[in-house]
Every structure is written in C-alpha cells, then in structure tokens.
Amino acid sequence: MAQFLSGIITLFIVSPIIFFVLLYFIIHWRTKDTTQSAKKAADGSVPFFLLSVYFLAEVIWGKSFLFFYILLFLFLFSFFVYFHWRKNNRIDLKSSFHKFWRFIFLLLIILHFLLMTYGIVSFAFRQL
C-alpha cells in the first residue's frame, strides 16, 4: 500500500497536470460549479507544481535552485503585499497570499511547460 501511494505521489510530482485535472473533475462533480472547481484545483495543485519545477530544474542543470526559489517567492509575496497595501491603505495578508498563490500557479504552469520542453529538446540533441 505504501509503495502504491508513493507511486501515485511521484506521478503527481512528475506530471502535476494530471493532479490538476483529476482534482478539477472531483471538485466539479461535488459542486457543479466550473469556476470554483478551477480555482480550488489550481490552489490544490500548486505544491505539486512547485516540486515538479524544482526537480525538473535540478535534473536539467544538475544543481539545486532552492535558495533562488525561496528568494524569488519571498520577493514576489512582498511585492503582492506592498501593492495590496498601496491600493487599500491596509495590509491584508490573507488576501495578498491568496492572490500570490494564484499568480504562483500561473507562473509555475508556464515554467513547468518551458522546462519540460527544454529538457526533452536538450535530451534529444544529446542523443544525436
């Protein structure tokens, strides 16, 4: 059972799109609300996209970018807090984090596809 669960988690880390689509259909089946299903599926799949992008970059270039990712995410979050404060004249961390989390989802989807494409193309050229 543990090996099966480990395999499923590994599949979702390697291909978080599968997790996103599966989560979307499960939430949509329960709520019948397309917009809410997409938003909740995006929120739930961010950790898998984070791990996927991290491991893809590590496999492609052979070194860890964890410190860079942490700095980038802290900078982006502070950017969202600052602009939320400028717009509303108050700091609301929950709202700022929610917008940041959705932005990270979009950023990670783009990075995931770019890294997958780059990895496949660079592997193909190395095999020539």
Q: What is the pLDDT of residue 37?
A: 94
Question: What percent of the chain lies above the pLDDT cut of 90?
Answer: 76
Q: What is the pLDDT of residue 7?
A: 81
> Which residue shows structure tokens 């950023």?
107
Question: What percent of the chain lies above the pLDDT cut of 70?
Answer: 100
Query: pTM higher than 0.75, yes or no?
Result: yes
Q: What is the DSSP letter of 65?
A: -
Mean model confidence pLDDT for the chain: 92
Residue-wise pLDDT for 25-72, tens only, equals: 999 999 999 999 999 999 999 999 999 999 999 999 999 999 999 999
pLDDT at 75 over 90: yes
What is the spatial distance between Cα 5 and Cα 118, in angstroms, rounded to a whole number?
Answer: 29
Cα-flanking dihedrals φ and ψ of residue 63, to 5°? Answer: -145, 160
**Residues 76, 82, 87, 88: what is their CA dihedral angle, to the nearest 10 degrees?**
120
Q: What is the pLDDT of residue 1?
A: 75
Calculate the alpha carbon distances from 58 to 36, 55, 69, 89, 121 in Å. 33, 5, 12, 40, 16
